[in-house]
Amino acid sequence: MDEKTKIKSLWAGIRNCNTFIDKIDEVPDMLPDERAQWKAEVQVLKAYYHYYLLQMYGPIPFMDENLDISLTPEEVQREREPVDQVVSKIVKVLDEAIESNGLQPAYVARRTELGRINLPVALAIKAKVLVLAASPIFNGNTEFSSFVNSEGAPFINPVYSVKKWQDAADACKAAIAAAHNASLNFYTFDKSANSLDNITDTTQLELNLRGQLLKMLTIPS
């Protein structure tokens, strides 16, 4: 998939998410827990697609609701929003999903659920969003001071904020805690159990990483 098609697919995905969220309450014969889970999962997807675009373009228009298909090309044009504002909206959607209690705290039936969005996934995405927002790219970057919107407001805040790093650290801690609660952790190669007490730290790291990849690719029964 080329870059142009990928971007088009992300915006189409956001539109599909908005449609799903707007219409799921009208679907009959769904159990309340199932409805809540699906809605929360799609909210996380909507936030993730915006985050993906934010990584590539910085300031983007946040599409919280779909535009009417009858609008003219001129009417559908939307101005890019400052990065801080986009981040705030992404985090708001993630928090709504996280606080809805619709996301599963851990995989119950891994063979059928592995890959679905659960609570640790949502918290990990939130942590990534806030780390990006706190990074030197978007936190106090004065090199983009002339990059402003139609009203003259900077797209990238030139004022450094320590709080952004604190918010990112708190989000990372919450994501790690959720992963531990779900019994998710990094694989560590046990050199003593394999009679390899004298291996170097570099070899230990390589075995850790290899084992982690194998662990991720293995679906337990």
For 73-92, the pLDDT digits (tens) are 888 889 999 999 999 999 99
CA dihedral 169, 172, 176, 179 (to 10 degrees): 160
Cα Dmax for the chain: 71
DSSP per-residue codes, 13-29: HHHHHHHHHHHGGG-SS
CATH number of 3-185: 1.25.40.390
Q: pLDDT at residue 55 above 70?
A: yes
State the Cα–Cα distance between residues 94 and 116, nearest whole angstrom: 15
Domain locations in the chain as residue ranges: 3-185, 186-221
SS3 annotation, 103-149: CCCCCCCHHHHCCCCCHHHHHHHHHHHHHHHHCCCCCCCHHHCCCEC
Q: pLDDT at residue 3 above 70?
A: no
Write the pLDDT tens digit of every residue in 157-206: 999 999 999 999 999 999 999 999 988 777 788 776 666 667 888 888 88
Please report the pLDDT score of residue 221 as a whole number.
38
Q: pLDDT at residue 114 above 80?
A: no
Cβ(93)–Cβ(99) below 8 Å: no
Spatial CA neighbour of 144 closest among 134, 131, 154: 154
Q: Which two tokens stand for residue 27?
A: 């679907």
Global confidence as pTM: 0.83
Backbone angles phi, psi at 148, to 5 degrees: -130, 165
Please report the pLDDT score of residue 8 as a whole number.
73
The CB-side HSE value for 194 (13 A sphere, CA atoms) comes to: 9
Q: Which two tokens stand for residue 179?
A: 């992963």
Write the pLDDT tens digit of every residue in 8-51: 789 999 999 999 999 999 999 999 999 999 999 999 999 999 99
